Amino acid sequence: MTKEVDNFKLINELLKSGPLFGYHKNQFYCLQLIRRKKDNPSIIKNANKVIKTFYLVNEDDLMNNKDEIITLCNLYNCRAYLYYSRRSCRESIVNTIKELAQRLLTKNYIMPWRVFNMASSRIKPEVSLWLIDIDDDSGYLDKLDELQEEVKKSSPYKDIVAKIPTRTGYHFLVEPFDSREFKKKYPNADIKRESSSTLVYCNL
């Protein structure tokens, strides 16, 4: 059954807020349209495919690109994901130069247009945020308030930064916390500790 998830307004307000988010000079957010094998079983290759990448550098960029993002998502049957950690323009350029130099030395000339995205994704996040993925398979969709209270009770005290709807559940964004008790009570909750992405739009 097709289900539309439109988080544009929620994500747009989130990116304007501080101190964990906000638009800063010489930094950007990355948004990618990803066509997944899971959503397109007729695809021969198993790998997911990036249809297009958007770089958000000011408060208007997300909403200004909304119509194009929705159109492409519906056309290619893909999802729009936001990498919610800000990336440094300077560090992205430095990493890109290093990667290009290494490729020249090793005579690796395959798909050079991917270098910038790959180089910028290796930057250590300025602000560390975990993502707790709760979907319908976890059995916790009727316990979202309980999960949030359990996070609050952790040490150090942390509240949920954002609760973002997905196609089959929710993403909780939260600052790092002592998750041992949380995992004992909710073993099926997937905690992603590395810089990750959350859903902006899909209609699948």
* pLDDT value at 46 more than 80: no
* pLDDT value at 17 more than 90: no
Query: Distance between CA atoms of 124 and 50, rounded to whole angstroms?
Result: 22
Band the pLDDT of 44: cuts 50, 70, 90.
Answer: confident
CB atoms within 10 A of CB 110: 6
Average pLDDT (104-133) is: 91
CB atoms within 10 A of CB 72: 18
Band the pLDDT of 196: cuts 50, 70, 90.
Answer: confident
Residue 202 burial class via C-beta count within 10 angstroms: exposed 0-12, middle 13-18, buried 19 and up: buried
Question: How does DSSP classify residue 124?
Answer: P
CB-CB contact of 168 with 136 (8 Å) = yes
pLDDT in tens, 58-116: 999 999 999 999 999 999 999 999 999 999 999 999 999 999 999 999 999 999 999 99
Band the pLDDT of 181: cuts 50, 70, 90.
Answer: very high
Residue 178, both tokens: 């002592």
Name the amino acid, one letter, at 127. Answer: V
